[in-house]
Structure 1
Amino acid sequence: MDILRKEDVERMIKEGVSLKDIDLTFAELDGIDFSGVDLSGASLTGAEIRNANFEGANLEGAFIADADLSGCNFRNANLSRAVLQRVHLRNANFENANMFKVQLMVCDASGANFKGADMRQSRLEKTRFRRAIMDKAIITHSNLRATDFQEASFIGTNISFSDLRKAQLQRAWFENIKAEEVLLYGKAPWIEGSKAKLDLDQIKAPNWDD
């Protein structure tokens, strides 16, 4: 299998070559500028693309596994229906990104910024969002089971109709959130020490007092 080099990919971008469905498996593309590029359906398995710029890029339906995208800028990008498994996303920026039906499973998004992201009907199981910014994100009708939201910020966030059972919310900050019919375990350690401006009667699961 021929692995694309960074200079080859940059040349393709410069020449306007379509990168739709491109195979970037094991590519080393740290710092590359993919802003506004159509990468829909791309495969980035095993890729190292740290601190790259994906602002406004189209990653709809992309498949990304065992890759390192730490520090990348996905502001205003389209990641709808993308699948990310075991991906490093530490300190990445997903502000106002379209993440409708995205799957982030067993990823590390510690310190990442999801402010204003559309994450409706997403799957975020077993992903680490420690100290992440989830402010004003829409995470409704989503599966957030066993996620780690310790010290994360939820200001103006909508998590209605989502499943947060076994989610770790210690020291998380909740303020002015929407949380209609959320499933959440309410006993320690799930919300221990959280700075929660939160109506617990609004979010507690039917088995809260079991």
Structure 2
Amino acid sequence: MQNILVVEDDRELNEALCYALEKQEYHTSTAFSIQEAKETYQSFTGKEKLQLVIQDVNLPDGEGFAFCQWVKAQQDIPVLFLTARDLEEDVLKGYDLGAEDYITKPFSMKVLLRKIELIFKRTQPEQPGEYDDGYLKIDWERAKVMVDQKACAVTPTEFRLLKVLAENQGRLLTYEILLEQLWDCDGQFVDKHTLAVNVNRLRRKLENTEHKYISNVYGMGYQWIG
């Protein structure tokens, strides 16, 4: 699940952007100023990193160009400008600072989402075809699981749960996020009780005293710690 920082001081637009992005299964963080954007960026540590910044140019505490320059100095991260500043010199300045794209308002949400999809295809390597830590091996393409070199049978729901957790290592996935991911392909809703049952089944199949993979964050959700 890609992490996107939305830097936009118009709160209604910020909320609308985050809503649209989360419907596409992106994880969003918000900021309404350059200072907030820097603080939010710095809150991402260790294995958890931002993959994209969507930002305005006109911000309460300065021009967004300054934040773009700052964040590019911290990390080679894609930046997409979304702004009413449509002068040619502003567009060129955005690209000169290393922006992946520069979109002017008003804009089409569908076009924006497609551009984001293409940015990720250009800038992120393909996910590896398998997970293998020497004890647990998962072939994502063939939906095969091996535990201690022995085949391990899992249900389709268990496999979807396993994939979501393992692809978000170290991130707390709330019950709500997991329930959305596990919505049955036939339209049958997977509730919180069913989620807990599947987690417990996976633990029994995958874990022992030396190998732990799924952590229960009480009252919030689950986390892959493998």
Larger radius of gyration: 2
TM over 0.5: no
TM-score, with structure 2 as normaliser:
0.23
Q: Which has the higher contact order (CA 8 A, sep 6+)?
A: 2
Structure having the higher helix fraction is 2
